[in-house]
Amino acid sequence: MNVRLINAVALPIVLLSSIASGQELTSDVPYLEDGHKRHVLDIYTPEKANDERLPVMFWIHGGGWQVGDKSDVALKPKVLTERGFVFVSTNYRLLPDVTMDVLTRDVAASLGWVHRNIAKYGGDPQRIFVGGHSAGAQLAALICTDDRYLKDQNVPFDSLRGCVPVDGDTYDIPKIIMTAEHRQTLYGGKMFTFGHRQKFGNDPEKHIDFSAVSHVAKDKNIPPFLLLYFPGNPDTRAQARRLQSVLNNSEIPATAYGKRNSNHSQLNNDLGKPDDPATAELYKFLDAHVGSQ
């Protein structure tokens, strides 16, 4: 492995590793000055230099907003850099150390840094896709529909080319709270002490505000959506179809695709495998919306 330290102009000192044939990783790049140890991101780039600025996939990890790491990317950086993308994976602070609004603003701050700086790594700040798995799917959907977060970072929605939430169950939070708690009541399960109701603030107004469906409207430049889900989970299936319907009703292109013979984790980890049907849908979506520089 070829490992060396670089100190590019206006960039922090970071570790650059050639991690795979045709791919390089710049790791632990701070996106906030004097920030928390989790205010860092990784940037995967094609190894061969190209004069053309490349589209960017900005990825948000899952973990119930309580655990998880930017390294949980499986095959996605490899296959997307091979297809001519820059791939960025971000960390953010977690519950219960911070509240959900702080956590969401961490993600927006990371995307703001990418928009301002990714050209130095060969990326195109006007061609950014936002994706995430599970909790990351909720965050991706929210910052691509509620424009207040990115406006604070001076990132216009028209720089976003698409959103790819993977198997989220919280695009409409009041509905998932009602569903989960009703299920517990019917079948005698112990009521949650730190479920979705508590994670999103114990205030019904906050539950609405953190729901992507609450912010969908025409003429906001909301990007097209590809919602991937596992149909064996009735909650993620219903939530994907709910968000798709709300987007389509506002004339925003949105497709919900369910991959059978999978599960919550496998759906995410299989993205990039040959003959994987969800991967085929992802590539079709990216090709349709990547556009030109």
Given this model, what pLDDT does residue 83 score?
97
pTM for the model: 0.93
**Measured distance CA(114)–CA(92) in Å, rounded:** 14
How would you label 71-108 residue by residue, b for 16+ Cβ within 10 Å and e otherwise?
ebbbebbbbbbebebbbbbbbbbbbeebebeebbbbbb
Of the candidates 88, 98, 99, the one whose C-alpha atom is nearest the C-alpha of residue 132 is 88
Mean predicted lDDT score pLDDT of the chain: 93
Name which residue leads in pLDDT, 231 or 18. 231
How would you label 31-41 residue by residue, b for 16+ Cβ within 10 Å and e otherwise?
beeeeeebbbb
Q: What is the pLDDT of residues 78-115, one digit of tens each?
A: 999 999 999 999 999 999 999 999 999 999 999 999 99
Domains of the chain: 25-289 (3.40.50.1820)
Q: What is the pLDDT of residues 238-269, one digit of tens each?
A: 999 999 999 999 999 999 999 999 999 999 99
Given this model, what pLDDT does residue 50 score?
72
Report the amino acid identity of residue 97: D
Q: What is the pLDDT of residues 202-211, one digit of tens each?
A: 999 999 999 9
Which strand (E) or helix (H) includes residue 141? helix 135-143
**Measured distance CA(243)–CA(172) in Å, rounded:** 8
Given this model, what pLDDT does residue 21 score?
61
Confidence bin at 189 (pLDDT 50/70/90): confident
